[in-house]
Amino acid sequence: MQDRLKRRYRADRRFKAYSVGALCVAIAFLAVFFTDIVIKALPGLKQAEIELTYTYTDDVLFDPGGGVRNDDALGDEFNSLISRGWTRLLPQQIEEDPQLEGSTETLWVLATDDVDQYLKGEYNQLNEEERRVVDRLASQDRAALHFNTYLFTNGDSKLPEMAGLKSALVGSLYLVFLVFIFAFPLGVMTAVYLEEFAPANHLTNWIEVNINNLAAVPSIIFGLLGLAVFINFFGVPRSSALVGGLTIGIMTLPLIIIAARAALRAVPDAIRQGALAVGASRWQMVKDHVLPLALPGILTGTIIGMAVAIGETAPLLIIGMIAYIPEAPTSFTQAATVLPAQIFTWAGMPEQSYSGRTAAGILVLLAAMITMNATAIYLRNHYTRRW
């Protein structure tokens, strides 16, 4: 007997050690993952800029050395240091504010991708003359790495130094909003019917089985469904936030139904019996007593479903939401993209600058998902009632 007890205690200690070891391995992998993402994202959060004195005019180009030169006198080694994206905006600025014509200013302007990579110590294609110019400007504190505001104020661009997440962020907000207004009321009503009103028969059992099966269907199948039904049959604009919201809404619907049913099932039957005993109808019992008590659990499941939705990519590839979107959409029917699709696009770009922007986009996406999950945990802990 004593030997068996010792073996049992040793088995308990081994199991505990295995469990702690597995937890440590998981934490180590998570730490390595986040550390790698942060290290790769830090270069993407900075962008090279050059201090430039220039004059707003159509027939004069600008010398980063500090003066203003005519086109014939401007060397290529100077002209190639300034991003073409910035110079293209000058006519638009003059058109919007005619008083700028002829005025001279000294500002930090966007440098090219090659200058940016050179200052970061990465591979670049600057020639020897251009490198000497950049070194001279850097020694004068007129070429430096600043916080990359373009990452959050610009949309996608073919110029790496100008590429940003604005259009993807706006598209993600549109998508989450449409998913919520489509899936939340439909999911809650379905859960209330199945849990409180549906008779126990073969049809109800068949519906429940299919809801549980839909929650496990690969997400790309919902993309094919959205392509066949919403785009080809109903004619919803391809690549729009509307078709993306409907497609992801269908994918999220089973998750919301399952979470809402679990929350309704957690309400004690005594609440229902008490409401019916004082003369409330069945609908009044659900509306005034059961549903308010189950709402925290329903919201928790819904927010977690939204967090899953905001990170989906495969269904959106099928319906065309991986398009090149330089400007943020202003309506639900305009072409749009989302953060996961933008990250996927940048990950396939050959330029080194996109690597840092990809990691920075992943950080933004992770921050959004962690915020939503933290909100769900807060709602669950703050509003859940113990019976």
Least confident interval from 104-108, 136-140, 290-294, 332-336:
104-108
Could you report the per-residue pLDDT of 237-268, keeping only the tens digit for each? 999 999 999 999 999 999 999 999 999 998 99
Mean pLDDT over 100-122 rounds to: 86
157 part of a folded domain = no
CB 332 within 8 A of CB 178: yes
Q: End-to-end alpha-carbon separation of the chain, Å?
A: 43
Q: Is residue 152 part of a domain?
A: no
Rounded to 5 degrees, what angle do the CA atoms 17, 23, 28 make?
125
The span from the CA of 256 to the CA of 228, in Å, is 24
Residues 142, 182: one domain?
Answer: no
277 pLDDT above the threshold of 70 = yes
**For residue 112, what are the domain limits?**
46-147
Tell me what the mean pLDDT of segment 362-375 comes to: 88
pLDDT tens digit string along 191-214? Answer: 999 999 988 888 888 988 889 888
Predicted pLDDT at 97:
78
**Residue indicated by tokens 């050179």:** 118
Residue 216 has pLDDT above 80, yes or no: yes
Report how far residue 151's alpha carbon sits from residue 174's, in angstroms, rounded to the nearest whole number.
19
In this prediction, residue 148 has a pLDDT band, given cuts at 50, 70 and 90, of very high
Residue 343 and residue 353: Cα distance in Å, rounded?
Answer: 13
Nearest-CA neighbor of 109 among 154, 168, 48, 55? 48
Counted domains in the chain: 3
The 10 Å Cβ neighbour count of residue 312 is: 23
Residue 271, domain member (yes or no)? yes
Residue 160 domain-assigned?
no
Provide, rounded to the nearest whole percent, the portion of the chain with pLDDT above 70. Answer: 93
Asked whether residue 25 falls in the same domain as residue 82, the answer is no
Q: Residues 276, 372: one domain?
A: yes
27 and 51 together in one domain? no
Q: Average pLDDT for residues 44-50, to the nearest whole number? A: 92
CATH number at residue 347: 1.10.3720.10
| Residue 317, in any domain of the structure | yes
Q: Are residues 18 and 57 in the same domain?
A: no
pLDDT at 72 over 50: no
Residues 235 and 282 in one domain: yes
Q: Are residues 311 and 358 in the same domain?
A: yes
pLDDT digits (tens, 9 = 90+) for 292-302: 889 888 988 88
Between 111 and 62, name the one with better pLDDT. Answer: 111
Residues 63 and 16 in one domain: no
Mean residue pLDDT across the chain: 86
The residue ranges of DSSP E strands in the chain, in sequence order, are: 46-55, 61-62, 68-69, 104-110, 143-147
Residue 3 lies in a domain: yes
Q: Which pLDDT score is estimated for 240? A: 93
**What mean pLDDT is predicted for residues 309-334?**
89
What's the mean pLDDT in 360-375? Answer: 89
Q: How confident is the model at residue 68 (pLDDT cuts 50, 70, 90)?
A: very low
pLDDT for 74 equals 36
Report d(CA 238, CA 319) in Å as an integer: 6
Q: What is the pLDDT of residue 75?
A: 43
Q: Which two tokens stand for residue 98?
A: 């005619």
Same domain, yes or no: 124 and 230: no
Q: Please report how many Cα atoms fall inside a 13 Å half-sphere around the Cα of residue 226, on the Cβ side.
A: 29
Tokens of 291: 């549903």
Q: What is the pLDDT of residue 19?
A: 94
List, as one string, the DSSP characters of 54-98. EE--SS-EE-TTSSEE-TTT--HHHHTTB-HHHHHTHHHHHHH-G
